Homo-oligomer: A and B are copies of this chain.
């Protein structure tokens, strides 16, 4: 494992750095939420149920990719230790909770992170499907409020805080626009990926971390150019894992993605190379069709395997593009090593 100098001359690998951030978020998120859940409890049993559903949801895990990237950018641009900006690390996880809670209701997903989604949990709590739906929308709204509240508790200078909050607002607007396109199957696939993945998974967290470290506008422009291919690579890796990965690790199934109508990088690549129109006809019988015949699903998966090498080549090219940007960036060597670690970790992850 590559050794990296992070922050105050502590030597550790990127894997260790990411592990430390993940542990801190796992530990501090329930701690941060506890007084908010207690306050909701004082208001009434229903407010407790909604607030507690958020706490249950966020403490059931998650990869914590966003806080890791935010922390990496913070240290890369001169922040002493990512632990200094702990409330900001929590705020992106709360933002994600808000978005996932609303998305899961829209997509009618019943399971997330090995437990019931919030609209399902609240549907059971209130013994009413409609009350569960309303509760999930309110839980998402409340999680957004918590996200903003947490970010504003970060100890830093007011100008950095205002700049970081601008990044949060930009992420929120972009990802909601992306969700609109995604849910109605509208817009270009690349646009949806840019808004839903690059924006709030990679670019937003990196820029937020850099803002909190006081990075200049030109530094942030460089960082954004670096983040762009990395965000796309994250999405491509996600699609590869979703289609060929181990469902026990990823929690996703290839057939499920197809039935939900996900236009993955593999589907795109297959259709782009389709001269005869046979693959298109086959995919149309399966994509977004909940009760598609198992034989057709299996056939699509076989065909997607033929596109795999080309998609893997595209992933490599995107990672190389990110690394090329990184090589040109005006950074201390330690900072470059941190960000290079992030590129490898995102491009090679197994879950």
Contacts and interface: CB of A to CB of B under 8 A. Distances in A.
A25 to B, nearest CB: 20
Contact of A186 (B45, B157, B176): B45
Interface in A14-71: 36, 40, 43-47, 50-51
A interface majority secondary structure: helix
B148 A180 contact: no
Nearest to A142: B176
Contacts of A166: 149, 152
Nearest to A150: B169
A97 interface: no
B47 A138 contact: no
A298 interface: no
Contacts of A47: 177, 180-181, 186-187
Contacts of A138: 102, 106, 176, 179-180, 183
A146 interface: yes
Contacts of A179: 138, 141
A102 B45 CA distance: 21
A195 B191 CA distance: 39
A144 interface: yes
A238 to B, nearest CB: 21
A50 B184 CA distance: 11
Nearest to A182: B46
Contacts of A131: 184
Contacts of A191: 43-44
B137 A181 contact: no
A300 to B, nearest CB: 26
A106 B137 contact: yes
Q: Tell me which of A138, A157, A173, A186 has the highest count of chain B C-beta atoms within 10 A of its own C-beta.
A: A173
Interface in A161-219: 161-162, 165-166, 168-170, 172-173, 176-177, 179-181, 183-184, 186-187, 191, 195
A180 B43 CA distance: 10
Contacts of A43: 177, 180-181, 187, 191, 195
A159 interface: yes
A289 interface: no
Interface string A106-141: 100000000000000000001000010011011011
A50 B172 CA distance: 15
A247 interface: no
Contacts of A140: 141
Nearest to A133: B133
A309 interface: no
A251 interface: no
Given A106-B134, A158-B158, A165-B165, A177 B142 contact: yes
A137 B184 CA distance: 14
Given A44-B180, A144-B172, A148-B165, 16 more contacts: A36-B173, A43-B181, A44-B187, A47-B180, A138-B176, A138-B183, A140-B141, A141-B172, A142-B173, A145-B169, A145-B173, A146-B173, A148-B148, A148-B168, A152-B166, A157-B158
Sorted nearest first, the 8 A-B pairs with minimum C-beta distance are: A44-B187, A158-B158, A145-B173, A158-B159, A46-B184, A44-B186, A148-B169, A46-B186
